[in-house]
Amino acid sequence: MHGPAELKLGRFPFIVFADVIQNQDAADLDTGFAVGFTIGKVAEPWELGYAYQNVQKDAQFGQFVESDFGGGIADTKGSVFRLGYAFAKSWSGNAAYFINDRFVDVGDQHDYDRLQLDLGYRF
């Protein structure tokens, strides 16, 4: 199930989304979901976003797990905050801060934080 809704919040684009995944072959710990929003658009000139995600251990085939969230494993939950800003016509900067818990379902749960900075040039 996937459902982004593109709306306007004043003059800014506003996108709300929800994703759900379930592994039909797993006996247990087979579900994951993500919900979040984005306001603005980095080219106009800023963008702000938030998402919460919870992926159980056997919800998804390991090769398809997002590599940034929780260090690239399933069995994670937590938040990601995003900020983007276009500081020149072709240049933009993006930041993402991940506040995640790893090994939620199996093993010893521990915190996983990551700050990711990107510099982009569009030509």
Alpha carbon distance 24, 46 (integer Å): 40
**Residue tagged 């709306």 (tokens):** 7
Alpha carbon distance 84, 92 (integer Å): 7
Kindly give the confidence (pLDDT) of every residue in the chain, 123 residues in length, as a single tens digit, with 9 standing for 90 and above: 456 888 888 889 999 999 999 999 888 899 999 999 999 998 889 999 999 999 999 888 877 888 899 888 889 999 999 999 999 989 999 999 999 999 988 888 899 999 999 999 988
The per-residue DSSP string of 54-87 comes to: EE-TTSS-GGGS-SSGGGT-SSEEEEEEEEEEE-
**Domain that includes residue 104, residue range:** 5-121
Alpha carbon distance 20, 57 (integer Å): 14
Q: What is the pLDDT of residue 81?
A: 98
Alpha carbon distance 32, 56 (integer Å): 6
Alpha carbon distance 42, 48 (integer Å): 8
pTM tops 0.85: yes
Tell which residue, 80, 82, 112, has the closest CA to residue 98: 80
Report how many domains make up the chain.
Answer: 1
Q: What is the pLDDT of residue 67?
A: 87
Q: What is the pLDDT of residue 3?
A: 66
